[in-house]
């Protein structure tokens, strides 16, 4: 959950952008994240810091058989609930 909030806050990701994030969008060697923006359709590239890279590498080791970075439905609903309660 911490990684989700870190990526959303640091890179301004919307929930839909976060859940659509694929491993192919992350360049571990160069240290950047390519985001397909939902609003306005302008894709963007964001540099990743060491703590983000370490956490993403660990997540990839923990769940190697999926193309998506975040795959749990409960995580996505938790993020949505957090955002909804935050803005209420």
- For the segment 28-66, what is each residue's pLDDT rounded down to a tens digit? 999 999 998 877 778 889 999 999 999 999 999 998 898
Q: Specify the number of domains making up the chain.
A: 1
Domain for residue 8, yes or no?
Answer: yes
Whether residue 49 lies inside any domain: the answer is yes
Residue 79: per-residue pLDDT: 47
In terms of residue numbers, what domain contains 30? 2-81
Range 40-47, long-range pairs (CB < 8 A, 24+ positions): 46/10, 46/11
Tell me whether residue 61 is in a domain. Answer: yes
| CATH code, domain carrying 62 | 1.10.443.10
Residue 22 located in a structural domain: yes
Least confident of 6-10, 22-26, 28-32, 37-41: 37-41
pTM: 0.74
35 falls within a domain: yes
């Amino acid at each position: 959950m911490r990684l989700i909030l870190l990526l959303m806050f640091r890179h301004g990701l919307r929930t839909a952008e976060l859940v659509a994030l694929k491993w192919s969008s992350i360049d571990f060697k160069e240290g950047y994240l390519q985001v397909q923006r939902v609003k306005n359709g302008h894709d963007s590239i964001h540099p990743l810091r060491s703590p983000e890279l370490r956490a993403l590498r660990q997540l990839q080791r923990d769940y190697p058989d999926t193309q998506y970075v975040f795959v749990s439905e409960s995580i996505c609903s938790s993020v949505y609930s957090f955002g909804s309660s935050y803005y209420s």
